[in-house]
């Protein structure tokens, strides 16, 4: 399981999540920050500090939010 950064990040890009991640799995992209689903340990530290509540657990995503997980997977696959 992994956490996923959703649309509210696109307007904010605050970055608190990056500094609290114990496994350094969050990187900044052009549109927003992304969490590497293969590295995320599901600790929830990022979710707790996000000022715009843009982070959700992978299994709590609605069907219309699943595109954000796909974007994160694509972001890290193309690195």
pTM for the complete prediction? 0.93
Could you give the domains of the chain?
3-78 (3.30.70.20)
Answer yes or no: is pLDDT of 79 > 80: no
CA atoms within 13 A on the CB side of 62: 4
Q: Residue 68: left if φ>0, alpha if ψ -120 to 50, beta else—which one?
A: alpha
How many Cβ atoms are within 10 Å of 18's Cβ, its own excluded? 16
Residue carrying the six token digits 């997980």: 69
Write the DSSP symbol of residue 48: H
Q: What digits encode the pLDDT tens for the residues 11-56?
A: 889 999 999 999 999 999 999 999 999 999 999 999 999 999 999 9
Torsion sign, CA atoms 16, 21, 24, 30: negative
Output the six-digit token pair for 11.
Answer: 């307007």
Can you give the pLDDT at residue 11?
82
């Amino acid at each position: 399981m992994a956490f996923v950064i959703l649309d509210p990040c696109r307007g904010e890009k605050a970055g608190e999540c990056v500094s609290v991640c114990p496994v350094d799995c969050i990187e900044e992209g052009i549109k927003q920050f992304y969490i590497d689903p293969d590295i995320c340990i599901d600790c929830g530290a990022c979710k707790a500090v996000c000022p715009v509540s843009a982070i959700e657990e992978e299994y709590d995503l609605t069907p219309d939010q699943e595109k954000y997980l796909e974007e994160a997977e694509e972001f890290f696959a193309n690195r």
